[in-house]
Amino acid sequence: MSLPTQDNREQTEDIRGSGVKFSQLNLKPYLVTSLQAVNFITATPIQEKTIPIALTLVDIVARAKNGTGKTGAFLIPILNQIKPQINTIQAVIVVNTRELAMQISSVTQNLGKLVNGVQNRVMCLVGGNSHGDDIMRINQYNPSILIATTLKLRVFLQEKLINLSQTKILVADEADKIIQQHEPLADLLIIKSHMHKDHQTMIFSATYQSEVQQFTQLHMTNPEFINCQQDKLTLSGITQYVAQVRQQDLKFKLLMILFKHLQIRQAIIFVNSTQRCEQIHHLVQSQLEIPSSFVHSKLTQFERSKVFHEFSQQNTRILVATDLYTRGIDIRTVNVVINFDVPRYADDYLHRIGRCGRFGHKGLAITFQSGPAELETCQAIDEMLNSPMIPLPSDLKKIPNSQYAILDSDIKF
């Protein structure tokens, strides 16, 4: 089998490992072959540190930001340990949003493409589907790997619709968002109580707040701590600009100028409300005439899944979104994020701009700021992150392509 051409774009230092290849990490040969088929050749720092420890089946607390190969860090050891001949759920991955669950499910099937008996036994269990349909899929696929939102899985366990008594691997991704909220945390503890008594727990988080620390002390067994997060709360490789706009109704005019002069391959435009989301999408469709879509919490699960698929396949170039989509989008052709509305919190800002410059590549984040309230919020974000946004130059040609350019081979259209 000939290997695909390796992606040789410049990568930021947080994604560059020591050069260790997956073939050197004591993985099964067929899994290494499957990884090579999708261009997974060299491990990132979080993968290099996590995989050998995960294979020993000890509990793990791993801290790493989004876009650094975190998903592969827990999926690869899971795929290495799955035994297709065993007809039980062997690994459970819990998350806090449907979109993130769907993203992980897609990555699991991609990485396990050549792993015998695995690809067709990966199931996503999330809200928005009927119990009847989900039960039918469980019986049909007999999943080895289950990716689920905490609430949906808890309901299935309490109604005895699913059995985890032989499940020995539990992963909580974006664990901070689960553990810091009362109900998702309660769901997680119920899930753990239904699993095999000797199961391995791995939690992955970009932050290590007091709630996460308390969880590790009370509900994990001598966990190994892995820290691949920089002390500075920022995202390497993303150039951050702020554009001061005299009044709100001039923001769309600025948006049109950006799309005219910048080399935008795919972009996500973030807004603060569902009403605003549909309004901006309508303007984009009618005036920019660029294939676009929108997503917010009031769409059905089917509608949201369709939007995600169309955008990930590059059938649309612009996605207008609320903060529903600050997690779970992992698309390397998104090279620009625009905060049409200033996010309310620094954490939301980080997760928004982290949608571009994925997997260690570069991107632009441009925040539109208008009026004293948005100015105050921008200043608070700047102060908290200690990473000042640069004023957007009036001459957009002064923004070098090297800050956000991507390979033409990445582009479908």
pLDDT in tens, 336-362: 999 999 998 887 888 888 888 665 667
**Mean pLDDT throughout 66-82?**
91
Q: Give the pairing of strands 224-227 and 60-63.
A: parallel
- Does one domain contain both 159 and 259? no
- Does one domain contain both 201 and 325? no
In the predicted model, is pLDDT for residue 80 greater than 70? yes
In the predicted model, is pLDDT for residue 227 greater than 90? no
Q: How far apart are CA 249 and CA 392, in angstroms?
A: 18
In a domain, 291, yes or no: yes
Residue 359: the pLDDT is 58
- Does one domain contain both 288 and 216? no
The last residue of one of the domains, among 205, 227, 249, is 227
Question: Which residues in 41-60 are b (16+ Cβ under 10 Å) and which e?
Answer: ebbbbbbbbbbbbbeeeebb
In a domain, 7, yes or no: no
In a domain, 181, yes or no: yes
Q: Domain range for residue 165?
A: 22-227
User: Do residues 141 and 123 lie in contact, with contact meaning Cβ atoms separated by under 8 Å?
Assistant: yes
Residue 141: the pLDDT is 85
In a domain, 232, yes or no: no
- Does one domain contain both 55 and 154? yes
In a domain, 246, yes or no: yes
**CB contact set of 141 (below 8 Å; sequence gap of 6+):** 120, 121, 122, 123
Higher confidence at residue 47 or residue 176?
47
Which neighbouring-strand residues pair with 62? 204, 226
Q: How far apart are CA 195 and CA 369, in angstroms?
A: 48
- How is residue 52 written in tokens? 């050998």
The last residue of one of the domains, among 208, 227, 246, is 227
- Report the mean per-residue pLDDT for the chain: 86
- What is the torsional sign of CA 313, 258, 361, 349? negative
- Does one domain contain both 287 and 334? yes
User: What CATH number has the domain bearing residue 97?
Assistant: 3.40.50.300
The proportion of the chain whose per-residue pLDDT surpasses 90, expressed as a percent, equals 50
**CB contact set of 209 (below 8 Å; sequence gap of 6+):** 176, 180
Q: How many domains does the chain have?
A: 2
Other Cβ atoms closer than 10 A to 80: 18
User: Do residues 212 and 203 lie in contact, with contact meaning Cβ atoms separated by under 8 Å?
Assistant: yes
In the predicted model, is pLDDT for residue 233 greater than 70? no
**Helix H or strand E segment including 24:** none
In a domain, 209, yes or no: yes
- Does one domain contain both 171 and 131? yes
In a domain, 11, yes or no: no
- How is residue 292 written in tokens? 């676009």
The last residue of one of the domains, among 227, 250, 280, is 227
- Does one domain contain both 243 and 325? yes
- Does one domain contain both 76 and 219? yes
- Does one domain contain both 194 and 260? no
**Mean pLDDT throughout 181-193?**
92
In the predicted model, is pLDDT for residue 411 greater than 60? no
Q: Would you put residue 160 in left (φ > 0), alpha (ψ -120 to 50) or beta?
A: left
- Does one domain contain both 275 and 211? no
pLDDT in tens, 299-327: 887 888 888 888 888 899 999 999 876 66
Residue 78: the pLDDT is 97
Residue 3: the pLDDT is 35
In the predicted model, is pLDDT for residue 297 greater than 50? yes
- To the nearest 10°, report the CA torsion of 123, 125, 129, 134: 60
- Does one domain contain both 331 and 391? yes
Other Cβ atoms closer than 10 A to 292: 21
In a domain, 1, yes or no: no
- Does one domain contain both 297 and 175? no
The proportion of the chain whose per-residue pLDDT surpasses 70, expressed as a percent, equals 89
**Mean pLDDT throughout 111-117?**
84
